[in-house]
Amino acid sequence: MRDSLRLLLFAFSLSVLLACDGEVLYKEQTSLPSKGWDYDHPIRFTYTVDDTAQVLNMVLDVHHVKDYRWQNLYVKLFTSFPGGRRDTQLLSLELADRKGHWLGKSKLKSSNIITPILLQESFKFQIPGTYTLDIQQDMRVNPVKGIRKLELRLEKVHITERK
């Protein structure tokens, strides 16, 4: 039952990603050291928001090796808002189903898998300004090996009205 729910959630997330027109407002990629991703080295993404009326999806692409040891990646997200507010969230980023099948795809003969994770769907920023998202790995092992890159994207969502 839980596997079915995860697969359904992934399929829905993927369909939402494919449904948007792909116009990217922000995109940044950070490579991680081959020796592993350490607790003490969070990944930082900083972006400026001018248009608070625009509906967006926030997508995190996790690039990992095919022989990554776990089905998920626990992370802490630290979001800093204009004005100084800071929120913290613990997430399990699902990279494989219970049977060990990767949820992402690889390109040709690449040894990397790219899994898109929908962090926020069809949302609007409430206030304009500069935002910072820090992502810290929160696995039981340190450092975590096999995570190659993280890429954050903010994509426009065009909502069509039904007649």
Give the DSSP H or E segment for 2: helix 2-19
Give the DSSP H or E segment for 33: none
What pLDDT score does 6 carry? Answer: 45
Give the DSSP H or E segment for 15: helix 2-19
Per-position pLDDT tens, the chain of length 163? 545 444 434 444 444 444 445 699 999 999 999 999 999 999 999 999 999 999 999 999 999 999 999 999 999 999 999 999 999 999 999 999 999 899 999 876 667 899 999 999 999 999 999 999 999 999 999 999 999 999 999 999 987 655 5
Give the DSSP H or E segment for 92: strand 86-94
> Which strands sit side by side in the sheet containing 72-80, from one edge to the other?
43-49, 129-137, 72-80, 86-94
pTM recorded for the entire structure: 0.81
**Nearest C-alpha neighbor of 148 from the set 84, 65, 25, 56:** 65
Domains of the chain: 2-156 (2.60.120)
What pLDDT score does 15 carry? Answer: 43
